[in-house]
Amino acid sequence: MSTLVEDNPAKHRFEILIDDALAGFTAYLARGEVLVFTHTEVDRSFQGKGVGSALMRETLDQIRARGTKVVPQCPFMAAFIDKHPEYADLVADLP
């Protein structure tokens, strides 16, 4: 099984593809150097398989590599960051 998380700027979201199928996404609004995450969705057929966590981890790793910050308005992302304090340094206040 191949997994890929990539930014889709045209749709303002990071997408997770599993075997080339869209398994889920986390949507954002760009506010300068900050991405405000508003909603995360995992396809029903992929729920309960760690897809949401993989999407969060890879999305946040890519944001860290860019040197940008996040505002986790999405409850799923906020809960993920609470459970994984190694990502807390990426959280910014709204500009």
Predicted confidence band of residue 2 (pLDDT cuts 50, 70, 90): confident
Average pLDDT over residues 13-35: 95
Phi, psi of 54 (to 5 degrees): -65, -40
Contacts of 82 (CB under 8 A, 6+ apart): none
pLDDT at residue 32, as a whole number: 87
CA dist 33 and 67 (Å) reads: 9
Helix and strand numbers, DSSP H then E, in the chain: 2, 5
* pTM, full prediction: 0.94
Q: What is the pLDDT of residues 26-61, one digit of tens each?
A: 999 999 889 999 999 999 999 999 999 999 999 999
Residues 6+ apart with CB under 8 A from 12: 27, 28, 29, 30
Domains for the chain: give ranges and CATH numbers.
3-90 (3.40.630.30)
Q: What gap in Å lies between CA 27 and CA 12, rounded to an integer?
A: 6
